[in-house]
Structure 1
Amino acid sequence: MRIIDAQVHIWGSGKPSGQHRQTSVYTAAELIGEMDAAGVDSAVLHPPSWDPHSNEMAIDAAVKYPEKFCSLGWFPLDDPSQRKRIETWKQQPGMVGLRWSLTRDGQETWHQDGTMDWLWPAAEKAGTPIATMAWRFLPRFKQIAERHPNLKLIVDHLGLVRSAQGQDAFATLDDLLPLAKLPNVAIKATGAPGYSQQSYPFRDIQDGLHRIFDAFGPDRFFWGTDLTRMPCSYRQCVTFFTEELPWLNPKDQEKVMGQAVTNWLQWQQP
């Protein structure tokens, strides 16, 4: 089974946000070392916004290790001069889509203040998938997906409450699960251990994960880690899904652990 992490970061400068490792540099070579030790074959890079040159770093990684990496990059949405970049975005090496976390200061209202309004039709026209942390605006996100049925959208980090743990993290489920009825919406099951109040195998979040998986199915439910802020080892992030979830049968497991995300992003690995 080929294992592909749906979200990891590398960076070369800046101050990492939140609970990420507080180091100013984390390289592709360092990441590959950890991937090899954990049994992870490939990964989708998410250039972090704290490093203004992170897109270039991700492109370099995809050029050097094309079998290992593709990327969901970003550009400043609040700068209208940047908008035309979406037309040729996927012509860059390894770039298969775009992603905004919407967690930096001033970004929390972009989904409702008009900053992102141009993005959805432009991305749909360009055939460029968009991923974002939509937990704060899931009903509006559903409306966006309905208006743009040919736009592939990804909800980051299971659509759960970003700062919560245990059952409190799943407070968004009533808004999240209806999104599964829309075939153009997928979900990244990334960062799951960080939502648990317990140690491995994180039993307090297993039922919630099962509900989300049942709604979205194996073709739109992507395993991943957000490695640099996980409270457990990389290998435990893997075995949590491959060994501890009895409802994830072998056929579905192959999709969840890698096949599905490569299909969704149309990543043609060499």
Structure 2
Amino acid sequence: MTIDAHQHFWRFDPVRDAWITEEMNIIRRDFLPADLAPLLKAAGIDGCVAVQADQSEAETQFLLECAQGNDFVKAVVGWVDLRSPDVAERLAYWAEQPLVKGFRHIVQGEPDDKFLLREDFNNGIAALKKHGLTYDILVYPHQLPAVEQFVEKHPEQPLVIDHLAKPYIKKKEIGDWTKQIRRIARMPHVHCKLSGMVTEADLQNWKEADFRPYLDTVLEAFGPGRLMYGSDWPVCLLAADYTRQKAIVDNFIGSLSDTEKSRIMGGNAAAFYNIS
């Protein structure tokens, strides 16, 4: 099964979705399963993982409804307040929904670089394992030192870094990011998504060669057994359509074995998110 391990749906709300500025006009509209289905079919993708873009349980319910009505949406990564004293109760509630596979918090938007080390947040993370739920790590490179400490705290919790931790591709900065990624990748329970790259590059002038040093780094660090392809659609539309962004990964992994390619393009995501 081929899987797009990272995409979003939304009904655009200019207040709630204030992060989508007027300069991002191409994505200032609704994006729903009916919009994605033909793109996946054309790209030879069998299913996808819908990931939260808003920090509310209403978002989790919305994504669940998207998944329940569309067989190709294989999993939901929702949001729940992992800092809440009621987190155990809320996780128990969502765990009753088979399509809800994990959760994410928009840590990249937190002003505290050490947000991931908060005691209340880590209590919530520790509660995920009981229900077999995953956690997606969304951060910027300057937050990676905290990520290293965070993943060490949860050695049995399945974790995945979204978007290669958003390296500064446009600036061609790689040194510090590489050091941190290699250190984090030493921990075998941490995975990484090959997603969100085009929006970290020069949006209108990127070349595939711009991504190669970063892709080489994560392939060496995580190996083909802990990488998973994701489109970050529709956010990717700021810099590339579905076909063009997927080609970056297709071309990069072209020299790998069929087994390795199969794992990156779906097998790893299926195992990580328990998709059958």
What secondary structure does 1:12 align onto?
coil
Q: How does 1:187-206 map to 2 (within 5 A)?
A: 187-197=192-202, 199=205, 201-206=207-212
Q: Residue 254 of structure 1: which of 240, 262, 270 is its match?
A: 262
May I ask how many residue pairs the two structures share in their alignment? Answer: 266
Runs of 5+ consecutive residues of structure 1 not aligned to the other structure: none
Q: Cα RMSD between the aligned structures?
A: 2.6
| Alignment correspondent of 1:133 | 138
1:54–1:170: structure 2 CA closer, same or farther, 3 Å change rule? farther
Please name the residue that 2:250 is paired with.
242
- Quote the residue 2:67 is aligned against: 62
1:5 partner amino acid: D
Q: What's the TM-score, normalizing by structure 2?
A: 0.84
In structure 2, give the amino acid aligned to 1:173: T
* Distance (Å, rounded) in 1 between the aligned partners of 2:131 and 2:109: 26
Q: Is the 8 A contact 1:153 1:184 kept in 2?
A: yes
Q: Which moved more, 1:37-46 or 1:221-230?
A: 37-46
1:267 & 1:170 partners in 2: Cα distance? 35
Q: Which residue of 2 aligns with 1:84?
A: 89
Seq. identity, %: 21
1:142-178 Cα distance to aligned partner (Å, 9 max, x none): 23322322111111111233x6525226641211111
Residue correspondence of structure 1 range 101-120 to structure 2 within 5 A: 101-104=106-109, 110-120=115-125
1:212 maps to 218
Q: Does 1:73 align with 2:78?
A: yes
Cα contact 1:12–1:57 (8 A) shared by 2: no
Distance 2:257 2:207 in 1: 17
Task: Give the Å deviation of 1:77.
Answer: 3.5
Amino acid at match of 2:131: A
**In the alignment, which residue of structure 2 is the partner of 1:10?**
9
Instruction: Give the corresponding residue for 1:267.
Output: 275
TM-score, length-scaled by structure 1: 0.86
CA distance in 2, matches of 1:57, 1:23: 18
Deviations 1:89-108 (A, max 9, x none): 33214111111222446676
- Measured in 1, the distance between the counterparts of 2:150 and 2:257 equals 33
For 1:244 and 1:220, how far apart are their aligned partners in 2?
Answer: 16
What secondary structure, in the 3-state scheme, does the structure 2 residue paired with 1:149 have? coil
SS for the counterpart of 2:54 is coil
